[in-house]
C-alpha cells in the first residue's frame, strides 16, 4: 500500500456533484445543503493546510504528544490540558512523588516536560515502568490521570485501574510482510481475540495468530475485522467503552504480539481492519479521557451534549482543534505503527444526529437527512477522516456502522460525499431474526425478504451479513440457535438420527447465508464461530454471571469433531466463499431478481455470471421449473446446499448440463428448466471453453 508523503496543501478540487446527482437525482433539491457541508469540510482542511503544514503533518500528533525518547537518551513529554493550573509527572522513576517533576506551560493549553538521561546515559524511565500525570485543577486539587497518548496500559494489581506503562523494548518489532493488495470482493471475518479460544479464559494475540488465522484462510475469508483492540478497562463492554485510544489492549498481550498477528495475516494475503471507536469514549476518569484536565470539557462537549444517555459515555467535541488532531492522529497511529489496512467506524449513526439516533425513526424521506437533526460537526470530522485516509493510503478500507441510510455517506469526498467505502447492511440480520421469530416457514414472504436484501442506495456499497456479534450477544440468539435451539445439545451427532428440527435448521442456515451473500451487498461479513453454527450466545464475564467465561469463548472442538454435524455448516461456508472468490459476484453490480414467487416460495436472481435459485417451500419440490436467464449458453451447478458434504440429501445431480432456450421468461430473454427440491438453494454458472466441468 503506497503512502503519499503530503496531502496537497491547495486542497481538493470542487466536488463533482453532477456525478452524485446522476446516481440519485432526488438529491438535487438539497444541493444547497450538500454544498454547505462540503464547504464546512473545506474550511477545516484549509485551516489545517494554512496553520499546521497540511494533514500529513497535523495527523502525526502522536509523534509530538505523549512520551518520547530523545536523541541523548532522555525523554520529553508533552500534553494538552487547557483547564489545568499545573501539570506533573510521577511514576516508578521518582518513587511516585506527585510534585517533584513539573511541566512547563506552553501556549494553547499545551505542556512540556524534559527528563535528562540517567548518569549512565540510559533512559530515565525503564521499559515497562509505570507513570501517571498529576493535574492541579483550579481548586488546587491534585488529580491523578492517565496519559491520553499512552501506547500501553496495564491494570494495577491492587486497584485494577489501568496505568500507563512505558513501552520501550530494547529490540523493535520488524514487520516481515508488505500489505496485501486491496481485495475486489471483501469477505470479512469479524473477530474478537479474547473469545477466540475454546477454553474459558481470555485468549491472546499469539493464540489468534497461530490458531485462528489458519482457519480464516481455509474458510476463504480475505479480511479480518478486529474488535475490542483499543484499550478498554471493562472487558464486558465488548471494546466499545475505550479508555486508552492509542493503546492496544494489554489483556491479550504486549503490542508486538498484535503486530505479529497482523504480519501473519498479511502473509496469508488477508487484510486487517480495526474496529475504531471515535463516536464516544468511556466516562472513566482515572484511566480514561473523562475530565482529563480537571474540567468537564477538554476532549468532550460540556453539559448534556457531552453525554451519551443510552451508552453512559462521553461525546467528543469535533470542533475542537486538539480533538481533531487527537482523533486523526489516532487513525494514523494504527495505520503506521500496527499496519492495519483500514477501519470499521463504530456508532456512525450516533455521530450523525443530535439525537444519536435514539428513538429516531427514518421513513426514507430525504429531508430527514438534510435538516437540523443532523450533526454537521460530526459529519465534517468523518469526511475529513476519510479524505485523509484515502489520500495517504489509497488502498485503505473504511466501513461505516450506519443504519439510517444517510445519502452519499459512501460516495467519494470528491463527489460531495463523505468518503466511506462501505456501510453495514444492518437491516438484514434484523429481518432474518424477525422472520424466524414471528412467522411460520410457510408464511415467509419472498417479496419482503428480497426487498430487505436489495434495499440499499445505488452506487453506495454495502457489507451484507445474516448475523454479526450483535445477534450473538446474550439476550438474543444466533441463527443456528433460533433454528435448532435445544436440539443443538442433543441431536447434532452424526451417529444419531437426523431429526426434523435439525434437518430444517441446517437447510435454512445454509440458504439464509447464501441468499444474503449473493443478494445483500457488495461485501460479506461473518462473526467468528457463526460459520459453523456456534451453539451458544456470547456473554462476557461480569457480576451478573458470576464472572463466568463459559460463554466468552468459541467452541472449536465442536467443528473439529468429525462425528458432529457442525462440520457440515463449516464446509458450506468455506465453499460458498471459495465459489465467490472464483466468480466474484460481490464485486459486480447489484443482482437482477427475475422471480419472487409467493405461492411456490421461489426466488431467482442473476449476478456475476451466475444464476441463484432458491426454493424455500417447506415440502414442495418442482421438476422442469422454468427460470429466466439473460445470458444464453450451457450452465452447471457449482454450489448446492443439498450436497451431502453439507448434510444435504443429494437430490441434485452436479453432472447435469442445463441449456438455455430462446424463450422469454420473467422479463429475461432466455430461460431454462431445472429441478428444484424443497428447502434448497443452488448456483448455476455459465460454462465456457475454459470452465471446469
Distance CA 243, CA 238 (A): 13
Q: Which of 204, 263, 317, 346 is catalytic?
A: 346
Question: How far, CA to CA in Å, does 287 sit from each of 137, 149, 478?
Answer: 17, 12, 34
Q: What share of the chain is helix, strand, coil (3-state, %, to 5)?
A: 35, 20, 45
Domain boundary at 165, 191, 224, which? 165
Q: Determine what percent of the chain is predicted with pLDDT higher than 70.
A: 97
Predicted confidence at residue 474, as pLDDT, reads 67
Q: Is 401 a residue of the active site?
A: yes
Average of per-residue pLDDT across 153-179: 97
Q: Is the pLDDT of residue 6 over 70?
A: no
Residue 95: per-residue pLDDT: 97
**Closest Cα partner for 508 from 371, 617, 377?**
617
d(CA 518, CA 593): 11
At residue 9, does pLDDT exceed 50? no
Q: Is 102 strand, coil or helix?
A: strand
The contacts of residue 271 (CB under 8 Å, 6+ apart) are 179, 180, 182, 183, 222, 223, 224, 265, 341, 342, 397
Q: Among 66-80, 139-153, 449-463, 474-488, where is mean pLDDT lowest?
A: 474-488
Q: What is the mean pLDDT of residues 440-452?
A: 98
Q: Is 457 inside any structural domain?
A: no
Do strands 622-629 and 610-615 pair parallel, antiparallel, or not at all (unpaired)?
unpaired
Which residue out of 263, 322, 401, 575 is catalytically annotated?
A: 401
642-679: burial string, b at 16+ Cβ within 10 Å, e else: bbeebbbeeebeeeeebebeeeebbebebbbbbbbbbb
Which cell goes with 324? Answer: 481533531
C-alpha cell at 405: 441510510
C-alpha cell at position 494: 452424526
**Single residue among 165, 191, 215 that ends a domain in this structure:** 165
- Rounded to an integer, the average pLDDT of 640-652 is 98
Q: Residues 366, 370, 376, 382: is their CA dihedral positive or negative?
A: positive
The reported pLDDT for the residue numbered 692 is 43
CA distances from 60 to 133, 167, 262, 293 (A): 22, 19, 22, 22
Average pLDDT on 177-184 reads 96
Contact 80, 65 (CB under 8 A): yes
CATH number of the domain residue 140 falls in: 2.60.40.10
Pair 76, 90: CB distance under 8 Å: no
Residues found in the chain: 693
**Rounded Cα–Cα distance for residues 358 and 425 (Å):** 19
**Residue 615 maps to a domain:** yes
> Which residue intervals of 346-400 are DSSP H helices?
348-352, 376-392
- End residue of a domain, out of 165, 180, 204: 165
Confidence (pTM) = 0.96
pLDDT tens readout for residues 447-486: 999 999 999 999 999 999 999 888 777 667 889 999 999 8
The CATH number for 639's domain is 2.60.40.1180
Q: Say whether pLDDT at 526 is over 50.
A: yes
Dihedral angle sign, alpha carbons of residues 262, 264, 266, 272: negative
Q: Is 351 helix (H, G, I), strand (E, B) or coil?
A: helix
Give yes or no for a contact between 248 and 338, defined as CB atoms under 8 angstroms apart: yes
User: What whole-number distance in Å separates Cα of residue 525 and Cα of residue 427?
Assistant: 14
Q: 271 forms bridges with which residues in the sheet?
A: 223
Q: Report if residue 633 sits inside a domain.
A: yes
Residue 190 lies in a domain: no
Whole domain around residue 97: which residue ranges? 61-165
Number of domains composing the chain: 2
Q: What are phi and psi of 258, to 5 degrees?
A: -65, -40
Would 655 be classed as within a structural domain? yes
Strands (E), 146-198: 153-155, 162-165, 186-192
Phi and psi for 434 in degrees, rounded to 5?
-60, -45
- pLDDT over 80 at 71, yes or no: yes
Establish if 82 belongs to a structural domain.
yes
| C-alpha dist (Å) from residue 689 to 24, 296, 634, 693 | 40, 70, 11, 10
Rounded Cα–Cα distance for residues 159 and 172 (Å): 31
Give the span between the Cα atoms of 667 and 693, in whole angstroms.
Answer: 29
Percent of the chain with pLDDT over 90: 92
Taking alpha carbons only, the member of 345, 372, 114 closest to residue 230 is: 345
Average of per-residue pLDDT values in the chain: 95
- Phi then psi for residue 516, to 5 deg, are -70, -40
281: β partners: 314
Inter-residue contact 143 to 296 (CB < 8 Å): no
Sole residue written with cell 495475516: 265
- 535, 80, 620, 682: which is closest to 321 by C-alpha? 80
CA-closest candidate to residue 112, choices 137, 75, 71: 75
**Is residue 167 scored above 70 in pLDDT?**
yes
Using CA atoms, how far apart are residues 135 and 494, in angstroms rounded to an integer?
Answer: 64
Can you tell me the distance from the alpha carbon of 15 to that of 328, in angstroms, rounded to the nearest whole number? 22
The verdict on residue 112 lying in a domain is yes
d(CA 680, CA 671): 20
What per-residue confidence (pLDDT) applies to 477? 82
Tell me if residue 666 is catalytic: no
- Residue pair 467/432 in contact by the 8 Å Cβ criterion: yes
Local confidence band at 343 (pLDDT 50, 70, 90 cut-offs): very high
The answer for residues whose C-beta is within 8 angstroms of residue 69's C-beta and 6 or more apart is 75, 123, 168
- Could you tell me if 80 and 110 are in contact, meaning their C-beta atoms sit under 8 angstroms apart? yes
Rounded alpha-carbon distances, angstroms, from residue 365 to 368, 405, 407 = 6, 10, 11
Segment 34-53, tens digit of pLDDT: 999 999 999 999 999 999 99
Q: Does 48 map to a domain?
A: no
Amino acid at each position: 500500500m503506497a503512502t503519499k508523503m503530503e496531502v496537497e496543501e491547495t486542497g481538493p478540487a470542487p466536488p463533482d456533484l453532477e456525478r452524485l446527482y446522476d446516481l440519485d437525482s432526488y438529491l438535487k433539491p438539497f444541493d444547497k445543503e450538500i454544498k454547505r457541508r462540503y464547504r464546512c469540510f473545506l474550511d477545516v482542511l484549509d485551516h489545517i493546510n494554512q496553520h499546521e503544514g497540511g494533514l500529513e503533518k497535523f495527523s502525526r500528533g502522536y509523534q509530538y504528544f505523549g512520551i518520547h525518547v530523545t536523541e541523548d537518551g532522555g525523554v520529553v513529554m508533552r500534553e494538552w490540558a487547557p483547564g489545568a493550573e499545573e501539570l506533573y509527572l510521577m511514576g516508578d522513576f521518582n518513587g511516585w512523588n506527585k510534585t517533584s517533576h513539573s511541566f512547563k506551560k506552553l501556549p494553547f493549553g499545551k505542556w512540556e516536560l524534559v527528563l535528562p538521561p540517567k548518569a549512565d546515559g540510559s533512559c530515565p524511565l525503564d521499559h515497562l515502568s509505570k507513570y501517571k500525570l498529576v493535574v492541579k485543577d483550579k481548586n488546587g486539587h491534585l488529580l491523578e490521570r492517565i496519559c491520553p497518548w499512552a501506547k500501553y496500559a496495564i491494570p494495577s494489581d491492587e486497584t485494577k485501574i489501568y496505568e500507563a506503562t512505558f513501552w520501550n523494548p530494547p529490540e523493535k518489532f520488524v514487520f516481515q510482510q508488505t500489505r496485501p493488495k486491496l481485495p475486489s470482493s471483501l469477505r470479512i471475518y469479524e473477530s474478537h481475540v479474547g473469545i477466540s479460544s475454546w477454553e474459558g479464559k481470555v485468549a491472546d494475540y499469539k493464540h489468534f495468530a497461530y490458531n485462528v488465522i489458519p482457519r480464516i484462510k481455509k474458510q476463504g475469508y480475505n479480511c479480518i475485522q478486529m474488535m475490542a483492540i483499543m484499550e478498554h478497562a471493562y472487558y464486558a463492554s465488548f471494546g466499545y467503552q475505550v479508555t486508552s485510544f492509542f493503546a492496544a489492549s494489554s489483556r491479550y498481550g504486549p503490542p508486538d504480539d498484535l503486530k505479529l498477528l497482523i504480519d501473519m495475516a498479511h502473509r496469508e494475503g488477508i487484510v486487517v481492519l480495526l474496529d475504531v471507536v471515535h463516536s464516544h469514549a468511556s466516562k472513566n476518569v482515572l484511566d480514561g479521557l473523562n475530565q482529563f484536565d480537571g474540567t468537564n470539557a477538554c476532549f468532550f462537549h460540556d453539559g448534556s451534549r457531552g453525554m451519551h444517555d443510552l451508552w453512559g459515555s462521553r461525546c467528543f467535541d469535533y470542533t475542537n482543534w486538539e480533538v481533531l488532531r487527537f482523533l486523526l492522529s489516532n487513525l494514523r497511529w494504527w495505520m503506521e505503527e500496527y499496519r492495519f489496512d483500514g477501519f470499521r467506524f463504530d456508532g456512525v449513526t450516533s455521530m450523525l444526529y443530535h439525537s444519536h439516533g435514539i428513538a429516531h425513526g427514518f421513513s426514507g424521506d430525504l429531508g430527514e437527512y438534510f435538516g437540523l437533526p443532523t450533526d454537521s460537526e460530526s459529519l465534517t470530522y468523518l469526511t475529513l477522516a476519510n479524505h485523509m485516509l484515502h489520500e495517504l493510503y489509497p488502498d485503505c478500507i473504511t466501513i461505516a456502522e450506519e443504519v439510517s441510510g444517510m445519502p452519499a455517506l459512501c460516495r467519494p469526498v470528491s463527489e460531495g460525499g463523505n468518503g466511506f467505502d462501505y456501510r453495514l447492511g444492518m437491516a438484514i440480520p434484523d429481518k432474518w431474526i424477525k422472520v424466524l421469530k414471528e412467522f411460520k416457514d410457510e408464511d415467509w414472504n419472498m417479496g419482503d425478504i428480497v426487498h430487505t436484501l436489495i434495499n440499499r442506495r445505488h452506487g453506495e456499497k454495502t457489507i451484507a451479513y445474516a448475523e454479526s456479534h450483535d445477534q450473538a450477544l446474550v439476550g438474543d440468539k444466533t441463527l443456528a440457535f433460533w433454528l435448532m435451539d435445544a436440539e443443538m445439545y442433543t441431536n447434532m451427532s452424526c451417529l444419531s438420527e437426523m431429526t426434523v428440527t435439525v434437518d430444517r435448521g441446517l437447510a435454512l442456515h445454509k440458504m439464509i447465508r447464501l441468499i444474503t451473500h449473493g443478494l445483500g451487498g457488495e461485501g460479506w461479513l461473518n462473526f467468528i464461530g457463526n460459520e459453523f453454527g456456534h451453539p451458544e450466545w456470547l456473554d462476557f464475564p461480569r457480576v451478573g454471571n458470576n464472572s463466568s467465561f463459559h460463554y466468552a469463548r468459541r467452541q472449536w472442538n465442536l467443528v473439529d469433531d468429525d462425528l458432529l454435524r457442525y462440520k457440515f455448516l463449516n464446509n458450506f461456508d468455506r465453499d460458498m466463499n471459495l465459489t465467490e472468490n472464483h466468480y466474484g459476484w460481490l464485486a459486480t453490480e447489484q443482482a437482477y431478481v427475475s422471480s419472487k414467487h409467493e405461492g411456490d416460495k421461489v426466488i431467482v436472481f442473476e449476478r456475476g455470471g451466475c444464476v441463484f435459485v432458491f426454493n424455500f417451500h417447506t415440502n414442495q419440490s418442482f421438476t422442469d421449473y422454468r427460470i429466466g436467464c439473460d445470458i444464453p449458453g450451457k450452465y452447471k451447478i457449482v454450489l448446492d446446499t443439498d450436497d451431502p458434504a453439507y448434510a444435504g440429501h443429494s437430490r441434485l445431480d452436479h453432472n447435469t448440463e442445463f441449456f438455455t432456450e430462446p424463450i422469454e421468461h420473467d422479463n429475461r430473454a432466455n430461460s431454462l428448466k431445472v429441478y428444484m427440491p424443497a428447502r434448497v438453494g443452488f448456483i448455476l454458472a455459465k460454462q465456457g471453453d475454459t470452465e471446469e466441468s
